Amino acid sequence: MKGLLFLIGSLLLVSCAALPAIRPVADLAEKNIICPSPFLTGKIRLIHAIEVRAAGQVQTVMIGVTITDPVTRTISCALMSAEGVALFEAVSGPDGLKVSRALPPFDAADFARKMMDDIELIFLAPQGALTEKGISATGETVCRRHKEPDGWIDVLEGRDGAININRYSEGGRLQRRVTLAGGLANPYSTIDLQALERVDYSLMMTLIESETVRDEPQRKE
């Protein structure tokens, strides 16, 4: 039994050791650290031009439309070609994921789930317990959250104001790196998402239009 507990403990230590170190600060200073929060606080429609890049080359250009509600954590997403053809449409929320349109190659297995996870990572405040906050090795303010078994999310703010959101697996492997060059002032003007998978790719998203969405009041019967 002791051997089993030691093995489990060792595995946990290894998983944590793979994560980038966060340098702690004095107790009083730590209390003054405000976690960077570029995330949506209201329901908003965002339209972005999206460049899909792989192997250092632009593979395709699309238009992405998202409506994200941070209260219900509901995401509505559509992808269109540059000519305006609807390629993909889906909604994700408390009732699960529903795909209403998916033309090849957007009908591939797990594409919809991964895409919705990426949108959630960019626009919605991470869930899970705050486990650490302090200074990264490169001098950024960083707050780390953990939601088992979904893994770890670091939100970092650099001295230049740029925001980075890094998602790690439960074992500490970097899966996504999001850079919001506009910082807290205009976080969604330019979004760079790096996906680290079997075949790495990146999305460069440039904001075209944003609009607050107000729900219509329900009619009384």
Q: Is the pLDDT of residue 221 over 70?
A: no
Residue 8's pLDDT band (cuts 50, 70, 90): very low
Residue 28's pLDDT band (cuts 50, 70, 90): low
Residue 102's pLDDT band (cuts 50, 70, 90): very high
Task: Note the pLDDT of residue 12.
Answer: 43
What's the whole-model pTM score?
0.87
Instruction: Name every residue whose Cβ is closer than 8 Å to that of residue 54 and which is 6 or more positions away in sequence.
Output: 199, 200, 201, 202
Task: Note the pLDDT of residue 32.
Answer: 81
Residue/partner pairs of 147-155 with CB below 8 Å, 24 or more apart: 151/175, 152/19, 153/121, 153/126, 153/128, 154/19, 154/20, 155/35, 155/36, 155/37, 155/38, 155/126
Query: pLDDT tens, 154-212?
Result: 999 998 899 999 999 999 999 999 999 999 999 999 999 999 988 899 999 999 999 99
